[in-house]
Structure 1
Amino acid sequence: LKSFFLDGHRLDVFWDLRSAKFPASSPEPASGYFVALVSQEQVVLTLGDLKKDAYKRSKCRPSLEDAVPLCRRETVFGRRSFVARGWLDTSRKDHDIVIEASLAGPREPEMAITVDGRALVQVKNLQWKFRGNETVLVDQSPVQVLWDVHDWIFAGPGSQAVFAFKPGAPPEVNSDEAGLESGSGIPGDPGDYSFFLHAWKTD
């Protein structure tokens, strides 16, 4: 049990990872565990498959409203290849994300992004296109891919690039919602969720 206060409200965190099972390709447990967040005697968030154990351990009832994922952040390190797993929408389905960057040598710097083995983004002349975005299809659904690799190009070793994956198509420039975020503002709308990937180049 760990407790802390946020905006004057006490939050309690309960967890049990003793029987957690980890897949070979991920540091995140796949089953046999729970992490629970309790506020005002309600379990407002649970992670893992042992939800009943979480309610029993915390001695609190589940919240009547489901928690809504808003964002997720991952940090990876590499030389030319950067590999991560993450949700690209609110379905909580993991996708394999690979970013390949060729920054040195006689050729112009370029970058490719694949999701689940499919090449979705290819950027050449990266020294001029170090910031950008594209909308791609993942499982037949649109996902916005945004990148900022400026420091990879100009800051040298030990620099990071930032990538964001946001479900849904970007808003139309001439729509009534132009200038607003692409989410509808309704909790749980897929456009409210984003996956952020920080990729650090080691040399």
Structure 2
Amino acid sequence: MQDPIGIPACFSSGEKLSDDPAAVTRSGQSVFMSVYRTKIADQCRLITVTWCKNLLVHGLSVSVEGPNGESQYTCKVELKPWYFWRKHGSKRFMVDGKAVDIFWDLKAAKFNGETEPNSEYYVAVVCNGEVVLLLGDLKKDAYRKTGCRPALIDPILVSRKEHIFGKKKFITRAKFHEKGRFHEISIECKNRATSCSGNTDNGNSLNGFEPEMEIRIDGYLVIHVKHLQWKFRGNESIHVNKLRIEVYWDVHDWLFNPGLRHALFIFKPSLLSTSSSSLSSTSSSSPPLSSSLTSTPLSSQIGSSGSVVEGFNGSGSSEFCLFLYAWKVE
């Protein structure tokens, strides 16, 4: 799991976004990246909205996909406490000869300690007189400021990547469906006392302790992995309301690589044909992805755009994926 994962460090005005994970781990920052698909400049393109936070700075970046799939057009906003004037404004750039405007108003944004704001803000992307992407709850203010109408095509949330730091427990909030509510996801790695002591062949059962992992949603235990040193890569299906969610994990580097390393969790929702209990866990029929989990890092099976994982596509499958990078701090 040492492949580059493209995490942008919090940036200063005029600086480039960094793809070096070390730049992020040194600053201990949290990063949330949301990728949307919509029509811009007469083509279907991806828009990436990135929020990052460290001890000094809140950062916002909006990137529009270029002709070759790269994030060629980028608007960056740095939110420092003493830069009040930077908390609202606009920026224009050209995409294939057409003007694209980014409008933002974060003057009264409420972050409540989070990396991205919860309320009292908007971020709008405008092209051809239409608001092609609108984030935040101040929608009336956004339409009044831009003077543009809503786009005829609604944007689609393709993927969300989150980078969070912790020692043993990692908590985030996420929607599994665009019209659904937020759920709290909790992942905890702990050591369970065992009757046997001493070293095992892999060195992970020491002094009578054995690593295990618990994944909870809204406080309910949905996945419990014992003998984590043998099951450091795997997948299970869980049910949340009327959604079936495939959960994939790769915690190899937590267990076997020293220093600051990340585990990768993927949550892939799909609609259920029949109603089920609100929260439950079932063993999944192993898709092609899981057949080689123990030998192949999960991160290497992610597509270049980060939006699709091989083996996920199927009947009733949602396009959305949540990628959670959990950085373990010793």
Asked if these proteins are the same fold (TM beyond 0.5), I'd say yes
Between Structure 1 and Structure 2, how many residues are aligned? 194
2:304 equivalent to 1:202: no
User: Taking structure 1 as reference, are residues 53 and 141 closer, same or farther at Cα in structure 2, changes over 3 Å only?
Assistant: same
Q: Distance in 2 between matches of 1:9 and 1:102?
A: 53
Q: Secondary structure at the match of 1:191?
A: coil
Deviation at 1:117, TM superposition (A): 0.2
Q: Secondary structure at the match of 1:157?
A: coil
Equivalence map 1:96-175=2 (5 Å): 96-102=184-190, 106-168=208-270
The aligned counterpart of 2:109 is: 20
Residue 32 of structure 1, aligned match among 109, 120, 131: 120
2:126 counterpart letter in structure 1:
V
Q: Secondary structure at the match of 2:161?
A: strand
Query: Taking structure 2 as the reference length, what is the TM-score of the superposition?
Result: 0.53
Q: Secondary structure at the match of 1:153?
A: helix
2:91 equivalent to 1:2: yes
Query: Taking structure 1 as the reference length, what is the TM-score of the superposition?
Result: 0.84
Q: Secondary structure at the match of 2:157?
A: coil
Structure 2 residue ranges without an equivalent (≥5): 1-89, 192-203, 272-283, 288-309
Q: Secondary structure at the match of 1:152?
A: helix
Deviation at 1:182, TM superposition (A): 2.5
Q: Is the 8 A contact 1:146 1:164 kept in 2?
A: yes
Q: Is the 8 A contact 1:90 1:190 kept in 2?
A: no
2:48 equivalent to 1:48: no
User: Taking structure 1 as reference, are residues 121 and 172 closer, same or farther at Cα in structure 2, changes over 3 Å only?
Assistant: closer
Deviation at 1:160, TM superposition (A): 0.3
Structure possessing the higher radius of gyration over alpha carbons: 2
Q: Secondary structure at the match of 1:3?
A: strand
Q: Distance in 2 between matches of 1:193 and 1:171?
A: 20
Stretch of structure 1 that moved more, 99-108 or 37-46 = 99-108
Q: Secondary structure at the match of 1:54?
A: helix
Report the identity percentage. Answer: 44
Structure 1 residue ranges without an equivalent (≥5): 174-178
User: Taking structure 1 as reference, are residues 8 and 95 closer, same or farther at Cα in structure 2, changes over 3 Å only?
Assistant: farther
Higher relative contact order (CA 8 A, sep 6+): 1
User: Taking structure 1 as reference, are residues 96 and 40 closer, same or farther at Cα in structure 2, changes over 3 Å only?
Assistant: same
